[in-house]
Amino acid sequence: MPSAPTLRGTALLNNALRNKGTAFTEAERREYGLEGLLPTQVETLDRQVERIHRHLEAKPSNLERYIYLSGLRDQNETLFYRVLMSNPAQFVPIVYAPTLAAVCQQFSHIYRRPRGMYISLDMRGRIRDVLRNWPLENVRFLCVTTGGRILGLGDIGVNGMGIPIGKLDLYTACGAVPPEVLLPVQLDIGTTNSALRADPLYLGLRREPPPLEELDAFVDEFVAAVEDVFPNACLHFEDWKGTDALHYLEKYRNRVLCYNDDIQGTAAVTLAGLITALKIKNETLAQQRFLFLGAGSSGLGTADMLISALKQEGVSEQEAIERITLMDVNGLLETTRTDLTPQQKRYAKPLPPSRDLLAMIKAIKPTVLIGVSTSGGAFTQNVVEAMSVLNERPIIFPLSLPQKNSECTAEQAYEWSKGQALFAAGLQFPEVTWNERTFYPGQANNFYIFPALGLAVYATCPKRITDDMVIEAARALADQVDPASRERGRLFPPQSDILDVSITSAARIAEFIFDQGAATVERPKDIRAWIESLTYSPQYAD
């Protein structure tokens, strides 16, 4: 933010980056033609935050709070981020999951004003020129979606734009990455959702998505345009259709600076929860057997990350693959199936076909059960009890979102396991009291990973993001769960500490990047202090 605004009067009050509202001093009001345009009282930023909190308390739902906060961002960006960073644990569920599911379903209907960029198929051949319409040059992160698979809602086209907006809000709120270097992007490739195409208020292309060859050419042009217009930017792929997510991560991961949060972020936060759970059990990753319900991009990405982590512990790749079993909507990934993708074939087992989760638990005797299926209630009482018979402390992670898609609830997991489950879900369940004991369900939410990773990448400027960097993010997170918290069954640090957690993780990741020789900036003497010096603090400029 410039030290002295060049705008005056109502133009200044309508500029979200420079507006201070009632915090403009008397001298500033005289200098910039604001006298008479604001109430008399000059307020501090903290007093403004207090008023916003009272406004939010009066709202009837989190959707209404989201809409209010979106309006606040459009009026006063500093105040918006000061509110979010004042209590991330309170505001993450409003600007991110689970509220974003409702936001995205209604995005075209609650749309107020543009944020980010919309790049459509109609812009082919001139995407570079379109990107140059963005008013800022030093873009470091573009969070880009096609809306093809949003929070268990399926393909919702440009209604998915709420996700890149929300993700990048958390880069700042949870990782203190400066908001001016962040750009949400919607690639409008059409939608398979016929109801949306028929909706008169739908804001996207009213057509089916193109075939893969045409989509490849479009995405290739977009990626090349980003490299040209924003040469220091990282592409954060988010909520693409599962097969597209895997395809484009594999295609670009060794060519450009990029990261897929659905694949790598979900894998990392799951790995972090597993590491913490295994500290409680006093066991190693190499001693575990893993069963996944769900073999889409999140399941496969997590399985791949587990293989990389197991190899770090000295397990061969083949042995690591043998320890991981996956099931999808058509049953066990096994060698007689003809419908498996190349990524799925890696995990196909020489076992009889089966669609019976309970039977598979009894057959392979997993120590870890992970749900990424969006099949609500799939972890039945029989399933949890079977895991508890096989394991004194079964690790049960129902990660699907939103809540109706969660494979089981925290209360069910603790009750059916008689309080022995080590539990984390994709959403935050409330504390559970069972048999006079209180349990603290973990939330394996990606916001524990991507803001910290983003801050480290922002600082060190590597040319690529490797799986080893993402694994280091997971280990850095797990190491911040202290022994007392583990004694209470906590698998993740408190959300109220997320900013400090992210900075600590970022310092660890940055140190790893320097040690690997992957940074393109000079190594500082004190990495933690250097990271802190680069973080964003929502304060008005003098």
Is residue 294 a contact partner of residue 371, using CB atoms and an 8 Å limit?
A: yes
Contact at 8 Å (CB) between 157 and 205? Answer: yes
8 A C-beta contact, residue 323 and residue 364: no
Other residues' Cβ atoms within 10 Å of the Cβ of residue 403? 16
Amino acid identity, position 62: N
Confirm if 256 and 223 have CB atoms less than 8 A apart: yes
Question: How many C-beta atoms lie closer than 10 Å to residue 522's C-beta?
Answer: 7
What values do phi and psi take at 189, rounded to 5? -105, 15
Q: How far apart are CA 273 and CA 444, in angstroms?
A: 7
Could you tell me where the DSSP H helices lie in 329-409? 342-345, 357-364, 381-390
Give CA separation, 541 vs 31, 73, 86, in Å.
Answer: 15, 17, 19
Question: What single DSSP character describes residue 69?
Answer: H
66, 81, 96, 252: the catalytic one is: 96
DSSP 254: T
> Which helix (H) or strand (E) segment is 45 a member of?
helix 45-57
The Cα 304–Cα 321 span in angstroms is 9
* Residue 96 annotated among the catalytic residues of the structure: yes
Decide if 418 is catalytic. no
Label residues 309-338 b or e (16+ Cβ within 10 Å = b): bbeeeebeeeebbebbbbbbeeebbbeeee
User: What secondary structure does DSSP assign to 480-509, as a single string?
Assistant: TS-HHHHHTT--S--GGGHHHHHHHHHHHH
Annotated binding-site positions: 149, 238-239, 262, 445
DSSP letters spanning 184-246: EEEEE---S-HHHHH-TT--S--SPPPPHHHHHHHHHHHHHHHHHHSTTPEEEE-S--HHHHH
In single-letter form, the type of residue at position 179 comes to P
For residue 58, the Cα-to-chain-centroid distance in whole angstroms is: 28
CB 448 within 8 A of CB 492: yes
Percentages helix, strand, coil for the chain (3-state, rounded to 5) are 50, 10, 40
CA–CA distance, 158 with 75 (Å, rounded to integer): 24
- 167, 241, 448, 540: the catalytic one is 167
- Torsion angle of the four alpha carbons 197, 199, 204, 206, in this order, in degrees rounded to the nearest 10: 30
Helix (H) or strand (E) holding 269, with range, is: helix 266-281
Rounded Cα–Cα distance for residues 486 and 475 (Å): 15
Which residues participate in catalysis according to the annotation? 96, 167
